[in-house]
């Protein structure tokens, strides 16, 4: 190959390197923009109640360590704020009423169950102007909750994250906020953005090797000083 051929080869190598680096840059920027757009959508009220519980899109962002993280020497990867309300209810109980021999005091015990409440009420009513009393015990059924982070289908290279709360149907549960680390659903994308060794850095290294080799050959042929 003559000198002109080597010049052309060197030029093509440099052009290839430029396009490769430019392509990596634009891919990183596109992934970064898509991740930001996903979090913007999650900030909106994306909560939704279902028969099995509640769900909400999670903001995908690294969370700064707070006092609890530092005290426990750990890092939080998923955090949600959940609001749980037991709805008010009216329970009607009936039971026979007893009285003392002279009917100076009437009393009765009322026992009943209306999901999720177990109720026991002891009532004592003396003759006027006496003061009646009510001893009331209410115990609720045990509530079990399930919490999971689900990763959806990719949208512009980013998988949306959703926090799902499974709760009993007799409770009103709502997720007020949800945040997860981007690594939970988008480890590959995050590593590409960060130029991990298996991603952008590896590509750039290869391009650099080709470019340096081309320059050395050109110098050897005295095309370049």
Give helix 200-220 / helix 3-43 axis angle, nearest 10°: 170
Determine the Cα–Cα distance for residues 8 and 80; give it in Å rounded to an integer: 59
**Measured CA angle at 14 (ends 32, 221), to 5 deg:** 155
Banded model confidence at residue 13, pLDDT cuts 50, 70, 90? low
Banded model confidence at residue 156, pLDDT cuts 50, 70, 90? confident
For the ranges 69-78, 118-127, 144-153, 180-189, which has the lowest average pLDDT?
180-189
Burial class (CB in 10 A: 0-12, 13-18, 19+), 194: exposed
Banded model confidence at residue 104, pLDDT cuts 50, 70, 90? confident
For the ranges 42-51, 75-84, 140-149, which has the lowest average pLDDT?
42-51
Q: Residue 180: which of 50, 72, 38 has the closest Cα?
A: 38
DSSP at 103? S
Give residue 101's pLDDT: 77
Determine the Cα–Cα distance for residues 149 and 162; give it in Å rounded to an integer: 6
Q: What are the φ/ψ torsions at residue 143 (nearest 5 degrees)?
A: -105, 130
Residue 111 near residue 123, CB atoms below 8 Å: no
DSSP per residue, 103-129 = SSEEEEEEEEEETTEEEEEEEEEESTT
Walk across the sheet containing 98-99 and list its strands.
98-99, 105-114, 117-126, 133-140
**146 pLDDT higher than 50:** yes
Q: Residue 138: which of 168, 172, 93 has the closest Cα?
A: 93
pTM over 0.75: no
Joined together, the tokens standing for residue 198 give 């298996």
Encode pLDDT of 48-65 as tens digits: 888 778 999 898 888 888
Higher pLDDT, 175 or 50: 175
Residue 47 near residue 56, CB atoms below 8 Å: yes
Give residue 209's pLDDT: 57
């Amino acid at each position: 190959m003559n000198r002109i051929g080597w010049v052309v080869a060197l030029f093509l190598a440099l052009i290839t390197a430029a396009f490769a680096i430019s392509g990596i840059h634009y891919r990183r920027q596109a992934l970064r923009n898509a991740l930001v757009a996903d979090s913007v959508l999650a900030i909106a009220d994306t909560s939704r109640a279902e028969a099995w519980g509640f769900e909400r899109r999670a903001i995908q962002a690294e969370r700064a360590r707070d006092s609890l993280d530092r005290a426990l020497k750990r890092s939080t990867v998923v955090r949600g704020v959940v609001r749980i309300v037991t709805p008010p209810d009216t329970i009607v109980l009936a039971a026979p009423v007893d009285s003392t021999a002279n009917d100076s005091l009437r009393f009765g015990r009322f026992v009943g169950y209306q999901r999720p409440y177990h109720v026991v009420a002891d009532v004592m009513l003396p003759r006027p102007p006496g003061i009646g009393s009510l001893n009331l015990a209410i115990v609720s059924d045990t509530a079990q909750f399930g919490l999971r982070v689900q990763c959806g289908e990719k949208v512009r290279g980013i998988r949306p994250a959703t926090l799902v709360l499974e709760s009993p149907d007799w409770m009103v549960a709502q997720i007020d906020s949800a945040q997860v680390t981007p690594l939970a659903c988008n480890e590959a994308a995050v590593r590409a953005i960060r130029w991990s060794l298996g991603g952008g850095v590896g590509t750039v290294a290869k391009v650099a090797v080709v470019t340096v080799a081309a320059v050395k050959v050109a110098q050897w042929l005295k095309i370049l000083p």
